[in-house]
Amino acid sequence: MPLWVPEVGGAIDPDSEAHTLIMSAYAAMSKAERRRIQIRVHASMAAQAELEGRFLGGRPPYGYRLIDAGPHPRPDLAALGSEPIALNRIRSPLRWCGASSRCGWPAMEPSGLPTC
């Protein structure tokens, strides 16, 4: 099936150098537009994470843990039982527990949090 492009006045001819050049220019513009959209989306996600405290997924940063943030603010998602997740700062992620360990290292639970 031929590809119709109004700028060339009809269907693309794969053997034509001019048509190949035009399609290469379209590909470059498309790639640049996609990259621009990626940058805007990542910037807006980072701004939401910073300003609204949203968690963007993945492993929580050091010194934080994941907690349930209560019912979802959107009624349609709350009706489905969806609950948002929030980051909660651990007061002291690694305290010195010299009395609870022979070698002086902090004693850790299986969850990775200090026991004392």
Position 76 in a domain? no
Position 59 in a domain? no
Cα–Cα distance measured from residue 9 to residue 101, given in angstroms and rounded to the nearest whole number: 80
Position 96 in a domain? no
Range of the domain at 49: 1-53
Question: What pTM, to 2 d.p., does this model score?
Answer: 0.46
- pLDDT at position 97 is 53
Position 100 in a domain? no
Position 83 in a domain? no
Position 22 in a domain? yes
Query: What is the DSSP secondary structure assignment for residue 105, as one 8-state letter?
Result: S
- pLDDT at position 88 is 83
Low-confidence ranges of the chain (pLDDT < 50): none
Cα–Cα distance measured from residue 93 to residue 63, given in angstroms and rounded to the nearest whole number: 5
Query: Which whole-number Å values give the CA distances from 68 to 65, 87, 111, in the listed order?
Result: 10, 9, 17
Position 21 in a domain? yes
Structural domain count of the chain: 1
- pLDDT at position 43 is 93
Position 6 in a domain? yes
pLDDT tens-place string over residues 44-69: 988 888 887 676 778 888 888 888 88
